[in-house]
A and B are shown apart, each in its own frame.
Chain A
Amino acid sequence: MPPEPESPRREVVRFEEVSLHFGGTPALDRVSFELRAGETRIVFGAAGSGKTTLLKTALGLIKPDSGRIFLFGAEITDMSEQELFDLRARAGILFQEGALFDSLTIEENVAYPLLNQPALREAAHPNGAGRLAPAQTVNERVRETLHFVELDQTLEKLPSELSGGMRRRVGIARALVTEPALLLYDSPTAGLDPITANTIISLILKERELRNTATILVTHRYLDGHLIANFRYNPSSGALERTSRTAEAASVTTKFFVMKEGQLAFQGSEAELQAASDPYVRKFLRHGSS
């Protein structure tokens, strides 16, 4: 059984003055922000500015040097790995290159969280901790999720047999299969052609539209952020359409971050981003419009 969806506006992630250094170089420098259910954060930044580290610390995969991190209301800063597993069961992450297990088939990759998340196993068998979820349930969920990302025909294939874009979509399927309340995307469109990149963004919008999940998306492409802030997926037509929400309403749910040397150099709406005068921040606008 997937976890209950987060109630609207409930706090999902909170960073309080989080700092982390790798060999003296700051990866995160006094980063503070909050993400609530249904909200989206688009994170821009140059390579090495701390975007991936931000995502990994949010899930407790990397421990900060100082500051506090809260995930679903629980402080995870010093939480043990075993305790973190239960919280991570409510989150999904797409790693930069997909990070699919190359010795497992696509079906096994997507089924992996259902079969290995301790919290999900116990939910499937309340009296039998450690037992696997019923094979039929897992199989159905895997097929549904692969259908969602339009990769029904790849069940028996290995990741090496798929293209880069398809692997990224399988990564999204693996992140979505548990119907998490928080989704983290690490450069989902990096290195992909524009058509495939737009397909990936459409899937992210589709997921957000159907499940209203809290999302943090790291990207280099301004267009990705622009689409996510201003477009929605229409389930009946199956196409993207411009959202009818007012700019103020959109700015409440979707905010843009720009990271520079571990710091949040900018936080704000798309309009504020476009009006920013900082040359570093404006580079991401020019990159997107070029």
Chain B
Amino acid sequence: MASVRERCGKALGDFVLDFLKSPVETFQDFLVLSVRAVRNIFRSPHYVDDIFQQMDVIGVGSLPIVMLIGLFSGVVMTMQMARALQQYGAQGQVGQIVSIALVRELGPVLTAVLVAGRNASGIASELGSMKVTEQIDAMRALGTDPIQKLVTPRLIATAFVLPLLTIIADFIGLIGGAVIAYTLLNISLSQYFTSAWMTLQYNDLVQGLLKPFVFAIVIALVGCFYGMRTTGGTQGVGRATTKAVVVSSVWIFFLTSMITRFFLYYA
């Protein structure tokens, strides 16, 4: 006869295992999809037209909103930092802070969150609709690997355009900051841009480009993953879309803290 303590321990163990089973299975499925999507980059056929189409949708389509957010983040950063620096008489150094914050952190994260909201949701809803209307099964029945046709082009396109969008957001943000520095703070443009440029190190630029590349992989794969496993009709598509945005956003913030820590302490 097992003691009460042993039975409670067993029940608790079963509960924990049951609780972990679903997330572990989900993560395992996600890894399988990711490996197949990456492996397909090196396999024929290559759907080049689809890659360019996705670059247009994700890159060109996101450009206006990314530029707008980049501009306002630069403007707001400059105003806030100038006020703080004024207390120490270092208002002239605002360009340094704005450029470091934008290039290292705000540019990559804000751009990625925007693209996650716009494109992870778009990818999940598009693929989810295809799944519930059996178009994905039809694709398989008609000789096409849906991962090769749908996931890999989106992965390549996002990984290519997100770093470019981030560079544009950083640049527009710095210009926004320059406008504020020149018009409201009476800092010359040469002083602003010199301090902004001189403070950036190789490490900052690598960090600023590595982050959007990693975020792009997460956004594309999470969007595709939730789209491809959609069930339950139109309601299911809605759930998949929400999950894709929430999960990719959480991953973006988690990964940015990991990458930042790595660069601060190891690089």
Contact = CB atoms under 8 A, between A and B. Distances in A.
B29 interface: no
A143 interface: no
Contact of A81 (B44, B137, B138, B140): B140
A146 interface: no
A92 to B, nearest CB: 8
A85 interface: yes
Contacts of A99: 133-135, 137-138
Contacts of A59: 141
A85 B134 contact: no
Contacts of B134: 95-97, 99
A102 interface: yes
B143 interface: yes
Nearest to A88: B141
Contacts of A89: 143
Interface stretch (A109-117, A189-197, A198-206, A244-252): A109-117
Nearest to B146: A81
A181 interface: no
Interface residues of B, number: 14
Contacts of B144: 116
Range for the number of chain A residues in contact with chain B: 20 to 34
Contacts of B198: none
A26 interface: no
B138 A101 contact: yes
B137 A88 contact: no
Contacts of A95: 134, 137-138
B45 interface: yes
Interface of A: 56, 59, 61, 81-82, 85, 88-89, 91, 93, 95-97, 99-102, 112-113, 116-120, 130, 174
23 contacts: A59-B141, A61-B140, A85-B143, A88-B140, A88-B142, A93-B138, A95-B137, A95-B138, A96-B134, A97-B133, A99-B133, A99-B134, A99-B137, A99-B138, A100-B138, A101-B139, A102-B135, A116-B142, A116-B143, A118-B143, A120-B143, A130-B44, A130-B45
Interface of B: 44-45, 133-135, 137-145
